[in-house]
Amino acid sequence: MITDKFGRPMHDLRISVTDRCNFRCRYCMPKEIFGRDFAFMPKEQLLSFEEIERLARIFISQGVKKIRLTGGEPLLRKDLHLLINRLVHIDGLEDIGLTTNGVLLEKQAQKLKDAGLKRVNVSLDALKDEIFKSINDSGVSTKHILKAIHKAKEIGLEVKVNMVVKKGMNEQEVIPMARYFKEHEIPLRYIEFMDVGETNGWDMKKVVTKKEIFHTLLNHFELEPIDPSYIGEVAKRYRYKGTKAEVGFITSVSESFCSTCTRARLSADGKIFTCLFASGGFDMKQMLRSGKSDEEILEVIQKIWGNRTDRYSDERTVQTAKNRKKIEMSYIGG
């Protein structure tokens, strides 16, 4: 196991399998920037499944226990279940999950489960159709996503729902979302609107903090805290008193968790990023395709992580959020 300069080990690997998405979401891919003519990566620039598996084995040799497949929208990657089946057979991997907007989930859920997928995080920012459609800008209804969520749960996948809360857009959906997913005992994660990338129009005035959401919930529910289930767990979790249902908060803006971050990120074109808010990555694809050995690649990964000093959320100011160049969410994944 390797640690960075602050003693943080590498435990969790996020792998983006594509930079494409079937939403033009206001948070990640606003249509003003990512229009229908936007040039996404050609297939040959993407890591192949064989290349992803090879890198995953190297990362796992250094202590990675969890992998999450992201995007873009990962379910747009053809035959994704075949990659999952490759990854689950790597000795040392304990958990594999997927983050998705849910559009293609119902159709693929059983195939993904059969391949070895354990859990899915589904992004859903509102129950009210009018609000949801205004956010995803694709005409997809909440009924379609909810049907996929229930299908995934029904076949035995662990399901969580992620809701990004943005002031002036969907904060009125906080309670309806809580009620719905409490009733169905599906964990809901409220995520503070973050300054990821350059295109989402982030402004601190648009952030609804964990404290604000928590107090809104307390007007309707009794909540009791849940202890973290592992070191480096990002969500601050609570249980609705007297039930098994839980709710959590991702607080990158108001209550940073840099000190316990154990996540490395691999982009769809093979770059390693040591922070969600990174300005640049380290190219592994070139090493893979130029004939470097696993030992040579491992040495580079060890140096990258060993020299890691990322503390962006600890150091964030309104000025740094505006002036620092950051990688887009659709490219690096969540």
pLDDT, tens digit (0-9, with 9 covering 90-100), for 246-303: 999 999 888 888 888 999 999 999 999 998 888 889 999 999 999 999 999 999 999 9
Residue 242 counted as an annotated binding residue: no
Residue 261 counted as an annotated binding residue: yes
Residue 123 counted as an annotated binding residue: yes
Helix axes of 49-61 and 80-87: crossing angle, nearest 10 degrees: 30
For 57, other C-beta atoms within 10 Å of its C-beta total 18
pLDDT at residue 321 tops 80: no
pLDDT given at position 125: 95
Residue 72 counted as an annotated binding residue: yes
230 is written with which tokens? Answer: 């592992």
pLDDT at residue 200 tops 70: no
48 is written with which tokens? Answer: 């192949």
The domain at 12-332 falls in which architecture? Alpha-Beta Barrel (3.20)
What is the domain partition of the chain in residue ranges?
12-332
Residue 99 counted as an annotated binding residue: yes
pLDDT given at position 43: 86
Residue 160 counted as an annotated binding residue: yes
pLDDT given at position 78: 95
pLDDT at residue 32 tops 60: no
Summarised one tens digit per residue, pLDDT across range 107-128 is: 999 999 999 999 999 999 999 9
Residue 25 counted as an annotated binding residue: yes
Summarised one tens digit per residue, pLDDT across range 48-105 is: 999 999 999 999 999 999 999 998 899 999 999 999 999 999 999 999 999 999 999 9
Mean pLDDT across 163-169: 94
Express as a percent the part of the chain with pLDDT over 90: 70
Residue 68 counted as an annotated binding residue: yes
Mean pLDDT across 7-22: 91
Helix axes of 49-61 and 294-306: crossing angle, nearest 10 degrees: 60
- Strand 12-16 to 263-266 pairing: parallel
pLDDT at residue 328 tops 90: no
Q: Are 39 and 331 in contact (CB under 8 A)?
A: no
pLDDT given at position 320: 59
Who's near 27: CB < 8 A, 6+ residues apart? Answer: 125, 135, 164, 166, 193, 200, 329
Question: How wide is the angle at C-alpha 306 spanned by C-alphas 301 and 310, nearest 5°?
Answer: 105
Q: List the one residue out of 131, 199, 139 whose CA is nearest residue 165.
A: 131
pLDDT given at position 255: 85
Q: What is the mean pLDDT of the chain?
A: 89
Q: Are 320 and 279 in contact (CB under 8 A)?
A: no
Residue 265 counted as an annotated binding residue: yes
Please name the residue that has the structure tokens 């694809």: 285
DSSP string, 206-222: GB--HHHHHHHHHTT--
**Distance of alpha carbon 40 from alpha carbon 20, whole angstroms:** 7
DSSP string, 168-181: TTTGGGHHHHHHHH
pLDDT given at position 253: 86
